[in-house]
Structures are given as structure tokens and as C-alpha cells.
Amino acid sequence: MMNQKEIEREAHKLEGVTGGKSVDGLADELHKMDPKDRIAVAKQVLMDQQSKSSVDLPTLSFYDSGDVRAVDTKSGKMQSHYEFDKSSGKRTKDDVQLEDSHEVRRYDAVTHKMTNDSITWKNGDNYTGVYDSATGNVVSEDRARFHGKQVQHTEYDSKTGNRLVVDEQSLDHTKRHIEYNQQGRKNEEKDTDKDGNTVEVIWDPGTHNIIMRDQSNIDGSGDYRTMDRNTGWVNSIRHKDKNGQITKWDAPKS
């Protein structure tokens, strides 16, 4: 059992926290204390907060077990809010407000791996990342700029980190959809212009040569081509004009 000086010393440590890492360390240290000591330190912190009220000092709140529930700190124009899990003592949330951005991060209470990261900027841009709770590797990301007029969505393989899918929309209203294989190389890509005309391309997974290109226009015309998987040379062409007239060409057989 701690004496009063030891309780005050531990309380002062908590009162001096300034950022995520120092908060984590002291919250973990408090969690590992004897339950009676932990509650005594928490009570001392609360007493000190009442007698030393200042906007520059961190504000701490506690569970009935004496474990840290939340910490609020302020440094210049940065305001930070941290939340903790009662059973593990691990940080589960960061909420950081800066002059030009607001970021919220969430963590798994057991693994302490980040599971979500959300940032909003003053100019309207925003970012959201989703992460695997076991590994902490990114699973998906969403970005938006110019008030949502330019967006990008990306999905990843949580084990390798390779991209699996990318969807984009640009300021000029063009769209792009790309699918990747497990090695992170393109399988398919489809581009759509602002009028709705599309071009779709498929790659061979082994040679990575283009084996199909299909252009389809809103006026009914189009161009469909197949290619040799080994050489990439054109095997056949099917061209259709807007009146539906089809012109065919096939490569000579050797």
C-alpha cells in the first residue's frame, strides 16, 4: 500500500501527460497498480484538479476501478481527447482538433491496433481509413476533395498490403474502376468519360499483356479487340458504327 507521498508522486505524473504515448504509458502503469493504490491515485488527481484548475493542465476522468477513462489536453491551438478501455487499460480513441483539421482514431481494446482513422480538413477535404484489428494493416481508404467532387475509394489485401480495387471520380466527372490480382498487378480497368462512353481493358494474369479492349460509346458505336496473351498482338477487331454496321478483322492464322 502506497503512502501519501507516493500517491501524490504518481498523481503528479498523470497530471503532466501531454500526448498519446505518455498518456498510454501512465494509463498502463496505473492499470497495473494494486486496486487500492490505483483508486487512491485517481482520487488524488481529482482533488488536485479542483485545487489547480487551469486550461493548460490536462483533465482526467476515471472509472470506479481507478483506471483512466479519458484524458483531455491542450497545447496551443491543439486540443486532444483520449479514451481508454476499463478492462485492459488500453487507449481506444484519439480525438485531435487542430486549427485546420479534426482527426479521430479508434483502436482495438485488446490488440491496441488502429481500426479506424478519420480526418476532416477545414477546406472540406476528408479521409477515412479502415484497418484490420489483428494486424493493424489498412483494409480500405476513402478520400474526398473539393467538397466531394473528387473522390477515391481503395480496398487492400490486409495481409500483403497490395491494392485490390480502386474507384475514382475526377472533377471533370470521369470515372475509373480498377481491379488488381493478389500480386498487386492490374486485372481489369474500366474508364467512363463525362458523357458515359466507356473503355474496358483486361490483362492476362500470367503474362500481364492486354488480352481484351472494349470501347462502347453512347451513340451505339464501339470497338472490340482481342489480343494474344503471350505477344500482346491483336488477334481480332470488331468495329461497330453508330448505325450498327459491323466491320470485322481477324489476324491471319500462321
Q: Per residue in 71-123, pLDDT tens?
A: 888 888 899 999 999 998 899 999 999 999 999 999 998 898 999 999 999 99
Q: What would the pLDDT profile of 222-232 be if each residue is shown by its tens digit?
A: 999 999 999 99
Q: What is the pTM of this model?
A: 0.81
Nearest-angstrom CA–CA distance, 113 and 134: 7
Q: Quote the pLDDT of residue 20.
A: 57
Q: pLDDT confidence of 42, banded at 50, 70, 90?
A: confident
Q: pLDDT confidence of 209, banded at 50, 70, 90?
A: very high
Residue whose C-alpha cell reads 498487386 in the numeric block: 184
Residue 80 one-letter amino acid: S
Was domain 57-250 assigned CATH 3.40.50.2300? no
Nearest Cα to Cα of residue 234 among 197, 209, 216: 209
Nearest-angstrom CA–CA distance, 168 and 215: 19
Q: Phi-psi region for residue 148, left (φ > 0), alpha (ψ -120 to 50) or beta?
A: left
Show the DSSP H helices in the chain as ranges. Answer: 4-15, 20-31, 35-51
**Domain extents in the chain:** 57-250
Least confident of 55-69, 138-152, 222-236: 55-69
| Residues 133 and 113 sit within 8 Å (Cβ to Cβ) | yes
Q: Quote the pLDDT of residue 97.
A: 96
Q: Quote the pLDDT of residue 254.
A: 67
Dihedrals phi, psi of 72, to nearest 5 degrees: -120, 130
Dihedrals phi, psi of 49, to nearest 5 degrees: -60, -35
Q: Quote the pLDDT of residue 54.
A: 54
